[in-house]
């Protein structure tokens, strides 16, 4: 072994061993992409793809992390296009079976981008949509801070994100950095892969100075790993400062154009426009030394990187960002080429690379030889990085079936939601785990009662200057509400990480977020990201729809119900009545708690996983009379009614019992706030001798899924599908249907098809405006008169 070097992080490492390991990582990452494209016949003519250049860019950083810096509890988010590097490293560490190496982008194989739920080798954070996976560790660290404050300190984790430089163009990055909820997180390190290239182009100008100032202004510790040791030595020579100044001022486009040139041409290009001092300094350096010198960047210098990591570790009270200057395509013939983002090495180039590493066709997929220092180092690192099993803390979470909410007077689902949470905050087996969050809408979404009881979370106690008797905004480490600034992206990123605390922080939580329903769409990409990652949480979109009448078109949501229904791993729920909400919310919390306790990563291939995912409640501020629900309770009894409410729908008015013989039957199917109009319409139809049964759909999603399940089963087994029980119990006989919802009419329009009957779907298919509820319902045909007419139309279609 060579002399060991000791970095300030107190890790002794052998530089030549790490060099050897990183060459093998580069080879495997490159070959994994190559094999996906050239060794596999897909038979469909669709290009497989993969990112060799983007991967090469991070090889040194990731080798330094995994083979020298990380400890077992640390968590890392890897930029999407470097997934081959991650898998190559896990393979070399012995955590990935060799059979996976040729399966990048194959069905059931290694995913294109790191996936928590689909990849076999323990991915910490899914990535893919640039910016989101990058920000996720920041919210995981915020979650850990919360968990440590409430449940006792976990073994310290460092939360690291490996981020492409162009990812900093995404606004969500800066929303995350700016939010006070992410202040002071000393365990966070973002490493920016500064290869000055994005997908299309060289990132224009020199933007780093601006980015660095933005991070500094947000209270971050900013570090650069810019110049490699050869360049640093050159700068230290007399006149070397001029070289540094020249490179520092050089726009990305100019610097990047050096790559791929012959050595003599590099000199000419590099010195194009340079002041005499730089010309003189470089005159003493031969062509074949100048080219490697001016492209000697610290992002490919393991020692410089480890020093920078250690400097960041020393910052305990603020997050760190390290700008690591790298070369896209480092070590490959496509290095620095502006068109290299999706470029693939030719077979000839692969052969040359293989040979240059001393590998052959027979040995190319081998692990490091365990008899060599590199192989022994990898084995030792495998031990060091092995994680302790989760303790399954939180198994004592017990959620009741209902809080026993009473609703004698008219009440809205939003108000009931607030009361249910207050009630749960008194329950010993629930309260410790409940954590709420909202993007500056906590009070207007009825979380004030909960906040009054439980307080607002702050890592240190804060004096309250408010004497408001209605809202006690007490802030301290005991608080259970995490307040965010107005960023719905941050809301869903935080919910996602709170909803993964059972895994990442070994502590199941019951996360509940609130947001104005129209602005769910503002955070939609992060919502999708979080549920794709396997997070379990509850979000309430409230108030919703045109029922928010005076607020006008900009605040009235229309397509959110469709979004909730169609999002995988999300169950969409829109109850009309308070007690139904009580049962549904408790049921959802039970599901979230159970998922956390089982703790299994789910989602291998297909299947119906929605009920192990998250829950989206769409609520309203419209108070409605609760008596009809009480009547249904009296008629059916709580056991049956509860089962039907949870299954997705029940008969609120059963006309069959009351209507005269021969009265034509029709179903009026309502969902959510429109129920009073549906009931009035039913009464008017009864007066006209039509037997209108009213079905209250509590979850169009659950009914639809039940229908789809039986259909798909029929398709897969080539047998006639039956009508599922959940639909049959709400719709026992055949009759035309009218569906009514304060949401896009499309949301329930499938019901006619499911029941095999004519259907008229009423809903909101154009933007609204300000007005009263009656105005808006009339404008969108949600008023009782329109529902009556729709029933007559449906009957005429029989």
Ligand X SMILES: Cc1ncc(C[n+]2csc(CCOP(=O)(O)OP(=O)(O)O)c2C)c(N)n1
List the single partner that 57 binds among ligand X, Mg ion, none, CB under 5 to 8 Å by kind. Answer: ligand X
Place of tokens 């949470």: 421
CB of 63 to Mg ion, least distance (A): 19
List the single partner that 742 binds among ligand X, Mg ion, none, CB under 5 to 8 Å by kind. Answer: none
503 touching ligand X, by CB under 6 A: no
Give whichever of 197 and 437 is closer to Mg ion, judged by the CB atom.
197
Structural tokens at position 21:
């390991």
Give whichever of 205 and 485 is closer to Mg ion, judged by the CB atom.
205
Contact with ligand X (CB under 6 A): which of 166, 420, 520, 584? Answer: 166
Ranges within 135-164 binding ligand X (CB under 6 A): 164
CB of 189 to ligand X, least distance (A): 17
Contact with ligand X (CB under 6 A): which of 81, 144, 480, 618? Answer: 81
SS3 400: coil
Q: State the Cα torsion 275-276-277-280 to the nearest 10°.
A: 130
195 touching Mg ion, by CB under 5 A: yes
Give whichever of 80 and 543 is closer to ligand X, judged by the CB atom.
80
Q: Please give the Cα distance from 266 to 289 (Å, whole number).
A: 11
Contact with Mg ion (CB under 5 A): which of 63, 115, 197, 514? Answer: 197
List the single partner that 620 binds among ligand X, Mg ion, none, CB under 5 to 8 Å by kind. Answer: none
Name the pairing type of β-strands 456-457 and 320-325: unpaired
Ranges within 40-59 binding ligand X (CB under 6 A): 54, 57
Long-range contacts (CB closer than 8 Å, 24 or more residues apart) made by 404-409: 404/582, 405/578, 405/579, 405/581, 405/582, 407/577, 407/578, 407/579, 407/626, 408/626, 409/623, 409/626
Q: Please give the Cα distance from 669 to 560 (Å, whole number).
A: 19
197 touching ligand X, by CB under 6 A: yes
Contact with ligand X (CB under 6 A): which of 129, 413, 533, 621? Answer: 129
Contact with Mg ion (CB under 5 A): which of 34, 119, 124, 165? Answer: 165
CB of 525 to ligand X, least distance (A): 7
CB of 634 to ligand X, least distance (A): 53
SS3 652: strand
668: Cβ–Cβ under 8 A, 6 or more apart, which residues?
Answer: 678, 681, 682, 685, 692, 693, 694, 695, 737, 738, 740, 787, 791
Q: Please give the Cα distance from 755 to 700 (Å, whole number).
A: 14
Q: Please give the Cα distance from 85 to 354 (Å, whole number).
A: 17
List the single partner that 199 binds among Mg ion, ligand X, none, CB under 5 to 8 Å by kind. Answer: ligand X
> What does the per-residue mask of binding to ligand X show for 61-80, with x meaning CB under 6 A?
------------------xx
Contact 308, 192 (CB under 8 A): no
Contact with ligand X (CB under 6 A): which of 26, 62, 130, 748? Answer: 130
Ranges within 319-378 binding ligand X (CB under 6 A): 328, 341
Give whichever of 533 and 626 is closer to ligand X, judged by the CB atom.
533
List the single partner that 81 binds among Mg ion, ligand X, none, CB under 5 to 8 Å by kind. Answer: ligand X
167 touching Mg ion, by CB under 5 A: no
Ranges within 734-793 binding ligand X (CB under 6 A): none
The burial of 297, by beta-carbon neighbours within 10 Å (0-12 exposed, 13-18 middle, 19 or more buried), is given as buried
Single out the residue of 240, 230, 237, 227 nearest to residue 277, CA to CA: 240
640: Cβ–Cβ under 8 A, 6 or more apart, which residues?
Answer: none
List the single partner that 167 binds among ligand X, Mg ion, none, CB under 5 to 8 Å by kind. Answer: ligand X
Give whichever of 330 and 629 is closer to ligand X, judged by the CB atom.
330
60 touching Mg ion, by CB under 5 A: no
Beta strands in 593-711 (DSSP E): 614-618, 649-653, 665-671, 691-697
Which residue sits closest to ligand X, CB atoms considered? 164
Burial 412-430 (b: 16+ CB within 10 A, else e): bbbbbbbbbbbbbbeeeeb
Q: Please give the Cα distance from 763 to 21 (Å, whole number).
A: 61
Single out the residue of 288, 292, 300, 294 nearest to residue 272, CA to CA: 294
Q: Please give the Cα distance from 523 to 616 (Å, whole number).
A: 13
Give whichever of 168 and 610 is closer to ligand X, judged by the CB atom.
168
Single out the residue of 501, 488, 523, 505 nearest to residue 592, CA to CA: 501
170 touching Mg ion, by CB under 5 A: no
Q: Please give the Cα distance from 526 to 131 (Å, whole number).
A: 10
Stretch that binds ligand X, among 171-179, 190-198, 259-267, 423-431 (CB under 6 A): 190-198
Q: Please give the Cα distance from 664 to 733 (Å, whole number).
A: 12
CB of 171 to ligand X, least distance (A): 11
Stretch that binds Mg ion, among 197-205, 351-359, 377-385, 422-430 (CB under 5 A): 197-205
Ranges within 612-671 binding ligand X (CB under 6 A): none
Q: Taking the chain, what is the end-to-end CA distance rounded to the nearest angstrom?
A: 86
Ranges within 490-509 binding Mg ion (CB under 5 A): none
SS3 89: helix
Contact with ligand X (CB under 6 A): which of 111, 195, 446, 514? Answer: 195
105 touching ligand X, by CB under 6 A: no
φ/ψ (deg, to 5) at 296: -85, 95
295 touching ligand X, by CB under 6 A: no
Contact with ligand X (CB under 6 A): which of 30, 198, 558, 626? Answer: 198
Number of residues that bind ligand X (CB under 6 A): 18
Stretch that binds Mg ion, among 20-28, 163-171, 179-187, 593-601 (CB under 5 A): 163-171
Structural tokens at position 68:
């020298």
Footprint of ligand X (CB under 6 A) = 54, 57, 79-81, 129-130, 164-167, 193, 195, 197-199, 328, 341
Could you list the residues that contact Mg ion (CB under 5 A)?
164-166, 195, 197
């Amino acid at each position: 072994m060579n002399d060991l070097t000791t970095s300030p992080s107190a890790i002794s490492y052998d530089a030549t061993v790490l060099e050897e390991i990183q060459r093998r990582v580069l080879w495997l990452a490159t070959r994994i992409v190559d094999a996906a494209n050239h060794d596999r016949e897909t038979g469909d003519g669709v290009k497989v793809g993969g990112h060799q250049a983007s991967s090469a860019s991070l090889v040194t950083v990731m080798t330094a992390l995994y083979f020298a810096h990380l400890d077992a509890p640390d968590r890392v988010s890897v930029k999407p296009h470097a997934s081959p590097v991650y898998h190559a490293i896990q393979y070399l560490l012995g955590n990935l079976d060799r059979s996976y190496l040729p399966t990048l982008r194959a069905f059931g194989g290694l995913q294109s981008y790191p996936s928590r739920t689909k990849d076999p080798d323990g991915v910490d954070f899914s990535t893919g949509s640039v910016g989101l996976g990058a920000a996720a560790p920041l919210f995981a660290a915020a979650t850990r801070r919360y968990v440590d404050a409430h449940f006792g300190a976990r073994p310290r984790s460092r939360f690291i994100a490996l981020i492409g430089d162009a990812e900093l163009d995404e606004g969500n990055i800066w929303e995350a950095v700016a939010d006070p909820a992410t202040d002071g997180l000393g365990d966070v390190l973002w490493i920016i892969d500064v290869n000055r290239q994005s997908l299309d182009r060289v990132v224009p100008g020199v933007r780093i100075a601006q980015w660095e100032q933005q991070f500094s202004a947000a209270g971050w510790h900013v570090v650069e790993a810019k110049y490699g040791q050869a360049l640093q030595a050159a700068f230290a020579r007399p006149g070397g400062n001029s070289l540094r100044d020249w490179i520092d001022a050089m726009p990305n486009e100019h610097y990047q154009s050096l790559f791929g040139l012959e050595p003599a041409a590099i000199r000419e290009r590099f010195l194009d426009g340079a002041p005499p001092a730089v010309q003189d300094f470089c005159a003493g350096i031969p062509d074949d030394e100048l080219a490697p010198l001016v492209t000697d960047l610290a992002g490919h210098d393991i020692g410089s990187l480890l020093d920078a990591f250690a400097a960041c570790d020393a910052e305990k009270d603020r997050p760190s960002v390290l700008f690591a200057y790298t070369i896209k395509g480092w070590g490959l013939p496509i290095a620095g080429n502006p068109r290299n983002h999706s470029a693939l090495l030719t077979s000839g180039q692969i052969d040359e690379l293989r040979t240059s590493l001393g590998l052959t066709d027979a040995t190319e997929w081998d692990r490091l030889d365990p008899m060599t220092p590199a192989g022994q180092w990898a084995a030792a690192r495998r031990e060091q990085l092995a994680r302790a099993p989760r303790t399954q803390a939180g198994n004592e979470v017990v959620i009741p079936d209902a809080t026993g909410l009473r609703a004698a007077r008219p009440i809205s689902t939003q108000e009931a939601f607030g009361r249910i949470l207050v009630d749960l905050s008194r329950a010993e087996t629930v309260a410790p785990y409940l954590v709420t969050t909202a993007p500056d809408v906590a009070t207007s979404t009825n979380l004030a009662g909960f906040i009054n009881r439980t307080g607002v979370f702050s890592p240190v106690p804060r004096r309250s200057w408010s004497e408001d008797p209605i809202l006690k905004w007490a802030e301290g480490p005991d608080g259970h509400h995490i307040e965010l600034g107005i960023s719905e992206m941050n809301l869903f990123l935080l919910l996602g990480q709170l909803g993964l605390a059972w895994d990442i922080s070994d502590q199941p939580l019951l996360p509940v977020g609130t947001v104005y329903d129209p602005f769910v769409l503002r955070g939609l990409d992060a919502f999708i990201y979080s549920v794709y990652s396997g997070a379990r949480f509850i979000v309430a979109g409230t108030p919703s729809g045109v029922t928010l009448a005076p607020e006008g078109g900009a605040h009235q949501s229309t397509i959110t119900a469709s979004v909730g229904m169609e999002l995988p791993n999300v169950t969409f729920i829109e109850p009309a009545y308070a007690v139904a909400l009580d049962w549904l919310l408790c049921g959802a919390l039970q599901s979230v708690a159970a998922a956390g306790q089982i703790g299994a990563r789910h989602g291998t291939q297909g299947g119906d996983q929605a009920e192990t995912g998250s829950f989206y409640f769409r609520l309203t501020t419209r108070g409605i009379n609760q008596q009809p629900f009480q009547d249904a309770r009296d008629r059916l009894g709580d056991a049956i009614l509860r089962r039907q409410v949870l299954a997705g729908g029940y008969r609120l008015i059963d006309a069959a019992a009351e209507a005269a013989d021969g009265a034509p039957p029709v179903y009026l199917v309502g969902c959510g706030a429109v129920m009073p109009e549906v009931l009035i319409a039913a009464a008017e139809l009864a007066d006209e001798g039509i037997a209108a049964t009213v079905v209250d759909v509590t979850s169009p999603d659950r009914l639809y899924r039940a229908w789809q399940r039986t259909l798909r089963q029929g398709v897969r087994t080539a047998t006639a599908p039956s009508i599922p029980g959940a639909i049959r119990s709400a719709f026992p006989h055949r009759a035309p249907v009218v569906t009514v919802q304060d949401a896009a009419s499309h949301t329930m329009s499938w019901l006619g098809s499911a029941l095999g009957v004519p259907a008229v779907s009423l809903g909101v298919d154009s933007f609204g405006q300000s007005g009263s509820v009656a105005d808006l319902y009339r404008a969108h045909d949600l008023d009782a008169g329109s529902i009556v007419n729709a029933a007559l139309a449906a009957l005429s279609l029989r």
